[in-house]
Amino acid sequence: MDFFHYLLSIIKTIQIRDIIDIIAIALIIFALFKFIRETRAVQLLKGFFVLLVIYIVSSVFGFVMLSSLLRAFFEASVVIVAIIFQPEIRKALEQMGRNDTWSKYIKIFSRHGKTDEWKKAVRKSIIDSADTAALFSHSKTGALVVFERETMLSDIASTGTIIEAETSVALLGNIFFNKAPLHDGASIIRDGKLFAAGCILPLTDNKNVDINLGTRHRAALGISEQSDAVVLVVSEETGTISLAIDGILLRDFSRDSLVAKLEELLLDEYEDEDLNSKRSHTKKGRSKS
């Protein structure tokens, strides 16, 4: 009975903030387990466990040098873990930042600047890119075009040549002409303008991608994994037109289907917002009348 009285007294002291605190810790632990299970962290965690066992054994048997070395290792384990898991931590933080739950609120502020001129420029860049891709598909000319969205790619753009020009089939054709100095890199389109060309993209870390995919496709997947960019790829070997989105490669686009998909990805959310805004204004006007 004393145990139950003691337990009841503890329960009575629990407040709502304590429950929220426990739930938050539980979610963090769950996320850590999920993170460990889905990455190379499982193998690294096994290595840490082996070192921990060695440290305990060395302490019990009085191996002074070995235990001192391992103690110093574990004291610096926070920094060591941050260094070892840097790619995984960065990817997890980027995914948190790109989560739709947060993006919906962040985009409310960024969308106010999307004018009709911006939409026209983006639509023109889509059509120019699709026309160029169709030509390249027939001539089997390789191309890699990155459509920047919410995630800014200035660090990637700095690896190439800043252009900041209006898009056109002629300009894109000259850039990706196989004798041109910038043809091997990626071109970045920002706000409907050709912002940079000849840029170096990170390759995908996914070991399960098709072994027949070349460097262009792996680079397209890589930048789509690390950002919310939409990446257009034209294969130099087959002429196939593909899009990389969120680490997934969609293939075999025609000119028209490519335009439709790019407009859906780059413009539709803003068009829907404008339509909803117009409807709300119309309702307000009717209610006043």
Task: Bin 62: left if φ > 0, else alpha if -120 < ψ < 50, else beta.
Answer: left
* pLDDT score at 289: 44
Percent of the chain with pLDDT over 90: 44
* Cα distance between residue 237 and residue 89, in whole Å: 36
Q: Are 44 and 87 in contact (CB under 8 A)?
A: no
In a domain, 72, yes or no: yes
* pLDDT score at 271: 59
Q: Are 232 and 145 in contact (CB under 8 A)?
A: yes
Residues 87 and 181 in one domain: no
Residues 172 and 217 in one domain: yes
* pLDDT score at 284: 46
Answer with the one of 92, 108, 138 that is the final residue of a domain: 92
Q: Are 270 and 114 in contact (CB under 8 A)?
A: yes
User: Has residue 269 got a pLDDT over 80?
Assistant: no
User: Tens digits of per-residue pLDDT, 204-222?
Assistant: 988 888 888 899 999 999 9
Name which residue leads in pLDDT, 7 or 214: 214
Residues 72 and 134 in one domain: no
What is the mean predicted confidence (pLDDT) over 80-100? 68
Residues 59 and 184 in one domain: no
CATH number at residue 247: 3.40.1700.10
Residues 77 and 210 in one domain: no
Residues 128 and 213 in one domain: yes
DSSP helix, strand, coil percent of the chain (3-state; round to 5): 65, 10, 25
* pLDDT score at 282: 46
Task: Bin 239: left if φ > 0, else alpha if -120 < ψ < 50, else beta.
Answer: left
In a domain, 104, yes or no: no
Q: What one-letter code names the amino acid at 106?
A: I
* pLDDT score at 221: 95
| Backbone φ, ψ for residue 108 (5° rounding) | -60, -40
Residues 86 and 135 in one domain: no
User: Has residue 275 got a pLDDT over 50?
Assistant: no
What is the mean predicted confidence (pLDDT) over 18-31? 86
In a domain, 284, yes or no: no
User: Tens digits of per-residue pLDDT, 159-172?
Assistant: 999 999 999 999 99
In a domain, 107, yes or no: no
pLDDT band at 279 (very low <50, low <70, confident <90, very high): very low
Number of domains forming the structure of the chain: 2
Q: Are 188 and 195 in contact (CB under 8 A)?
A: yes
* pLDDT score at 77: 79
DSSP code, position 203: P
Residues 121 and 191 in one domain: yes
User: Tens digits of per-residue pLDDT, 92-116?
Assistant: 676 666 555 445 444 444 544 568 8
Residue ranges of the alpha helices (H) in 227-267?
Answer: 255-266
Q: Is-above-0.95 flag for pTM? A: no
In a domain, 15, yes or no: yes
Pairing relation of β-strands 161-166 and 186-190? unpaired
In a domain, 283, yes or no: no
Residues 123 and 228 in one domain: yes
Q: Are 123 and 263 in contact (CB under 8 A)?
A: yes
* pLDDT score at 99: 57
User: Tens digits of per-residue pLDDT, 50-72?
Assistant: 988 999 999 998 888 998 998 88
* pLDDT score at 75: 85
Residues 185 and 252 in one domain: yes
Contacts of 84 (CB under 8 A, 6+ apart): 44
What is the mean predicted confidence (pLDDT) over 161-184? 93
Residues 155 and 190 in one domain: yes
In a domain, 285, yes or no: no
Residues 121 and 29 in one domain: no
* pLDDT score at 86: 74
Highest-scoring range by mean pLDDT, 34-38, 196-200, 278-282 = 196-200
- Give the domain range for residue 231: 116-273
* pLDDT score at 272: 52
* pLDDT score at 112: 47
Contacts from 214-218 at CB under 8 Å and sequence distance 24+? 216/142, 216/144, 217/242, 217/244, 217/249
Q: Is 247 helix (H, G, I), strand (E, B) or coil?
A: coil
Answer with the one of 57, 92, 127 that is the final residue of a domain: 92
In a domain, 23, yes or no: yes
A 10 A CB-CB count for 116 gives 8
